[in-house]
Amino acid sequence: MTGWQTLFYKEVLRFWKVSFQTVAAPVLTAVMYLLIFGHVLEGRVKVYDTVSYTAFLVPGLVMMSVLQNAFANSSSSLIQSKIMGNLVFLLLTPLSHWAWFFAYVGSSIVRGVLVGAGVFLVTAWFADLSFVAPWWIVVFIVFGAALMGTLGLIAGLWAEKFDQLAAFQNFIIMPMTFLSGVFYSIHSLPAFWQTVSHLNPFFYMIDGFRHGFFGVSDVSPWLSLGIVALALGVAASIAVHLLRIGYKIRS
């Protein structure tokens, strides 16, 4: 196996060895969200004319789980390696910065997709879902997981201890995820908050992903794809540059 494939394999094994915590626990959390919000708001909230609220909620929960776990995978791996001191063994290898990037982001995509598939398999029993445009589902789940894995890589490089990483996740990632339209359509918000939502790239990931199920969305899926691709390109450029100069890992 080439270098990046070996590191990728190691990163996949790292989260799979504790899959009860890294895969099963997020699935349970998503099911609890569905049971609570679906039970309370079903029949009281109408988002699209032909879509029940529970059906509307399922893709949002799937994508939210994908994004959060893709971020957690790369960020937690780097910060653990820093604190435990085993990052030095990777620095001794001739792996390029591109190998690091593809291995960490690739493993984040795998974890995000696995968790998302688990959430979907469990929650799909509670609603009638259709697959109007399955290619949009695949595209947005891969691009979304890649973007969050890249952001996790940046956060892991920047953080020097667990509380710094927790602050990054709790004050940036979590609010942007929950305020991205997972539980509601932005058309139900006042005009000011609709404008704010359009500045959140997470909104476009979830809205485009939901379009693949129902064929309807708050904005055009092509617009969502363009914004997500642009955000991924910017984040990837930053992450690769930080890896190339050895930011906070070579000193």
The model's pTM:
0.92
Residue spans per domain, the chain = 3-13+25-245
What span, in angstroms and rounded, lies between the C-alpha atoms of 31 and 38?
10
209-230 CB burial, b ≥16 within 10 A, e <16: bbbbbbbebbbebeebbebbee
Q: How far is CA 239 from each of CA 29, 225, 243, rounded to the nearest angstrom?
A: 30, 21, 6
Q: What is the structure's pLDDT at 56?
A: 87
Residues 175 and 195: beta-carbon distance below 8 Å? no
| pLDDT band per the 50, 70, 90 thresholds, residue 241 | very high
Q: State the average pLDDT for the chain.
A: 90
What span, in angstroms and rounded, lies between the C-alpha atoms of 165 and 92?
25
Q: What is the pLDDT of residues 169-218, one digit of tens each?
A: 889 888 888 888 888 888 777 888 888 888 999 999 999 999 999 888 88
14: pLDDT strictly greater than 90: yes
Q: What is the pLDDT of residues 147-162, one digit of tens each?
A: 999 999 999 999 988 8
1: pLDDT strictly greater than 80: no
Reduced to 3 states (helix: H, G, I; strand: E, B; else coil), residue 45 is coil
**Mean pLDDT comparison of 81-95, 133-147, 157-171, highest-scoring range:** 133-147
Q: How far is CA 1 from each of CA 7, 8, 57, 93, 103, rounded to the nearest angstrom?
A: 10, 10, 41, 14, 13
Cα dihedral sign, 155-227-55-43: positive
